[in-house]
């Protein structure tokens, strides 16, 4: 009976969870500390305001009694202020007028000075409402200051006779405390309290909160370190999984094709690029030997155990099922484990089709540039003496009109001179810079016109013309005369290739990426693969009387249009040329 061991259940606690819990507790403690601070501040304010209001009322009552019953003046009120300022927690008491001038103060030296930070309470404020603020007494002390209007003779207490109960007039040594000033003139009274013990209590609360927070931070840090140590294996395993995931993603997104084979040569891995190049999906080839699904030359690189560390690199053409040969750049290398044992092979291959095409284009361009420069000079030097030769041949043709042999020789000279002049004209046509003037043209109308021009030649050679056009095509951005020259050249070549008659087929259709394609095919003798790679080279021709410049000129004109011309040919079945042209952006010029 097979034995299967279940995986243990692991309770994973992230170190950040511990730190997060400690942080939350720290926030809670901080919130409680702030709440306690605000509550104590509110209680302190309420207590000191009530205490200040009580002292002010007591002071008003004492002043009222002294002024009415005992005829007090400013000296007695000043004495009372000094005595009240001796109470615990009272820093100062003073009275000012409504402009901030000090009338009486627990510190006599401050009398008749002005307050710098007078609050400026207007007369419309309630008489019995007390206000408070924090005020710097000096550089080291901050006082809790309670103040309100001071009026020992409130309106509800109308002043009695301004004489003492002894029948004597009141002695007023200081008129500010005279009943004559009430209630018309009002004063302000300020009492400053020492808040040291309240501040000490708040500091103690903050110290307790700081101690608790420090303990929580230490616990969180200790838990963090403990979990890091205990979960080191888990984190390492996770990193390995992440590395594996990254490697899988890199392999999947690699632009080059990649295949991995095991020790037995069986395919175990293939990325998307490899599927695109080979046309073989991983589900079809997984577990199969490489030599049974890959081309022979490609499979040979990984058929046997390679030498340790050796990387095989090679360029080759591979034929995959149902596809044309694909040029590849292949690199094969062994896969070696930590014990230096060979456990498989990896093959990386890239499609070189675009690179090969670009190399051919560059080589052709360089060749054409060199030939063009040489041809322009040679043609210019030959044409002038050639004209003289033709003139002399014509002269002798007329001079020896009675001598048939001499006349025939002169006619041959004229004919060959004309042929050589035609070759030089084509050479100059190929060598000179292309003066293309493009504009939107109806491609279908131009193709129809070109076919009418070669219609008679086609009938004489027994060639049937078939035109297939897409009426929805928009205009092409071309030079009408130059493109007509290309079409006629291709038509004539096709008709000449069908000596026993055949079909000349011309089709217009939309291309990729907004381009327009024109396909010209014949059922002639076709071109071999070797010759097909050279037909656009100057002076290459398979005709006995050809100059080899016609298709080179066609290729140059199409490239100057920003287009492309390609050829497909099968010997004995015919040849197909495909021209790709840029489309114009003017839909109004579209015609049927």
What local confidence, expressed as pLDDT, does residue 126 receive?
64
Q: What is the pLDDT of residue 518?
A: 93
Q: Does domain 255-351 have CATH number 1.20.1250.20?
A: no
Provide Rg for the chain, Cα atoms.
55
Report DSSP letters for 279-315, one per residue: ---HHHHTTSBHHHHS-HHHHGGGSSPPPTT--EEEE
Domain 439-589 in CATH 3.30.565.10: yes
Question: How far apart are the C-alpha atoms of 88 and 80, rounded to whole Å?
Answer: 16
Fold matches, 18-160+171-202 and 439-589: no
What CATH number matches the domain at 356-431, 3.30.2420, 1.10.287, 3.90.550, 3.30.70? Answer: 1.10.287
Q: The domain 18-160+171-202: what is its CATH number?
A: 3.30.450.20
Confidence at 506, pLDDT banded by 50, 70, 90 = very high
Shortest CA distance to 191 belongs to which of 141, 111, 113, 131?
131
431 phi and psi, to 5 degrees? -80, -30
The pLDDT value recorded for residue 226 is 72
pLDDT, residue 14, reads 61
pLDDT in tens, 57-96: 888 888 877 777 777 777 788 888 888 888 888 888 998 8
Q: Could you state, in order of their start, the residue ranges of all structural domains in the chain?
A: 18-160+171-202, 255-351, 356-431, 439-589
Q: Could you give the angle at the alpha carbon of 150 between the alpha carbons of 97 and 52, nearest 5°? A: 120
Average pLDDT of 470-485? 87
Query: What pLDDT is attached to residue 577?
Result: 92
What gap in Å lies between CA 464 and CA 503, rounded to an integer?
Answer: 5
Average pLDDT over residues 447-476: 89
Above 60 in pLDDT, residue 11? no
Copy the structure tokens of residue 515: 């381009």
Query: What's the mean per-residue pLDDT of the chain?
Result: 75
What pLDDT does 162 receive?
A: 40
Q: Identify the residue whose tokens are 């509550």.
A: 39
Q: Place 294 in a pLDDT band, splitting at 50, 70 and 90.
A: confident
Contacts from 63-71 at CB under 8 Å and sequence distance 24+? 63/152, 63/177, 64/152, 64/153, 64/157, 67/152, 67/153, 67/170, 67/177, 67/179, 68/159, 68/160, 68/179, 69/164, 69/165, 70/164, 71/163, 71/164, 71/168, 71/169, 71/170, 71/171
pLDDT at 339 over 80: no
Of the candidates 296, 297, 347, 294, the residue with the CA atom closest to the CA atom of residue 321: 294
Measured distance CA(232)–CA(507) in Å, rounded: 70
Structure tokens at 184: 């018309």
pLDDT, average across residues 312-322: 75
- For residue 32, pLDDT over 80 is answered with no
- Helical axes 404-431 vs 550-560, angle rounded to 10°: 20
pTM of the model: 0.40
Q: What span, in angstroms and rounded, lies between the C-alpha atoms of 483 and 450? A: 10
Q: What is the pLDDT of residues 130-179, one digit of tens each?
A: 888 888 776 667 788 888 888 776 544 444 434 443 334 434 345 566 65
Q: Which residue has the higher pLDDT, 472 or 310?
A: 472
């Amino acid at each position: 009976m097979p034995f299967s061991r279940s995986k243990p259940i692991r309770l994973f606690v992230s170190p950040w969870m511990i730190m997060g819990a400690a942080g939350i507790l720290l926030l809670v403690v901080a919130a409680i500390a702030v709440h306690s601070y605000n509550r104590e501040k509110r209680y302190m304010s309420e207590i000191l305001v009530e205490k200040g209001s009580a002292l002010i009322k007591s002071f008003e009552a004492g002043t009222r009694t002294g002024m009415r019953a005992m005829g007090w003046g400013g000296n007695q009120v000043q004495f009372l202020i000094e005595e009240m300022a001796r109470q615990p927690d009272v820093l100062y008491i003073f009275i000012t007028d409504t402009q901030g001038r000090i009338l009486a103060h627990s510190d006599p030296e401050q009398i008749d000075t002005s307050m710098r930070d007078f609050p400026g309470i207007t007369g419309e404020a309630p008489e019995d409402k007390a206000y408070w603020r924090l005020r710097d007494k000096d550089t080291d002390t901050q006082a809790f200051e309670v103040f309100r209007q001071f009026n020992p003779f409130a309106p509800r207490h109308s002043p009695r006779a301004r004489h003492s109960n002894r029948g004597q007039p009141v002695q007023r040594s200081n008129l500010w405390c005279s009943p004559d000033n009430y209630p018309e003139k009002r004063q302000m009274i300020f009492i400053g309290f020492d808040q040291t013990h309240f501040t000490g209590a708040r500091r103690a609360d903050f110290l307790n909160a700081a101690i608790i927070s420090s303990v929580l931070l230490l616990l969180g840090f200790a838990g963090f370190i403990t979990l890091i140590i205990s979960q080191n294996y888990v984190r390492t395993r996770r990193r390995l999984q992440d590395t594996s995931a990254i490697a899988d993603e890199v392999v999947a997104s690699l632009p080059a094709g990649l295949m991995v084979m095991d020790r037995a040569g069986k395919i175990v891995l293939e990325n998307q690029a490899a599927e695109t190049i080979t046309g073989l999906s991983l589900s079809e080839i997984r577990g199969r030997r490489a030599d049974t699904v890959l081309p022979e030359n490609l499979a040979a690189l990984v058929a046997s155990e390679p030498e340790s560390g050796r990387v095989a690199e090679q360029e080759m053409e591979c034929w995959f099922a149902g596809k044309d040969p694909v040029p590849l750049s292949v690199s094969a290398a062994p896969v070696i484990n930590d014990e230096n044992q060979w456990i498989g092979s990896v093959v990386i291959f890239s499609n070189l089709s675009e690179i090969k095409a670009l190399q051919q284009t560059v080589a052709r361009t360089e060749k054409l540039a060199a030939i063009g420069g040489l041809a322009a000079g040679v043609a210019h030097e030959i044409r002038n003496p050639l004209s003289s030769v033709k003139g002399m041949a014509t002269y002798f043709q007329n001079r020896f009109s009675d001598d048939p042999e001499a006349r025939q020789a002169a006619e041959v000279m004229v004919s060959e001179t004309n042929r050589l002049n035609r070759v030089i004209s084509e050479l100059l046509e190929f060598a000179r810079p292309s003066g293309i003037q493009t504009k939107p043209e109806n491609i279908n109308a131009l193709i129809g016109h070109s076919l009418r021009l070669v219609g008679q030649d086609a009938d004489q050679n027994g060639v049937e013309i078939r035109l297939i056009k897409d009426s929805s095509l928009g205009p092409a951005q071309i030079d009408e005369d130059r493109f007509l020259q290309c079409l006629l050249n291709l038509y004539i070549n096709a008709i000449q290739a069908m000596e026993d008659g055949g079909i000349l087929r011309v089709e217009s259709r939309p291309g990729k990426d907004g381009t327009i394609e024109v396909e010209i095919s014949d059922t002639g003798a076709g071109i071999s693969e070797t010759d097909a790679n050279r037909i656009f080279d100057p002076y290459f021709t398979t005709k006995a009387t050809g100059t080899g410049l016609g298709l080179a000129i066609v290729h140059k004109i199409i490239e100057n249009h920003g287009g492309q011309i390609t050829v497909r040919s099968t010997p004995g079945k015919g040849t197909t040329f495909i021209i790709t042209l840029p489309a114009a952006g003017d839909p109004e010029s579209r015609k049927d």
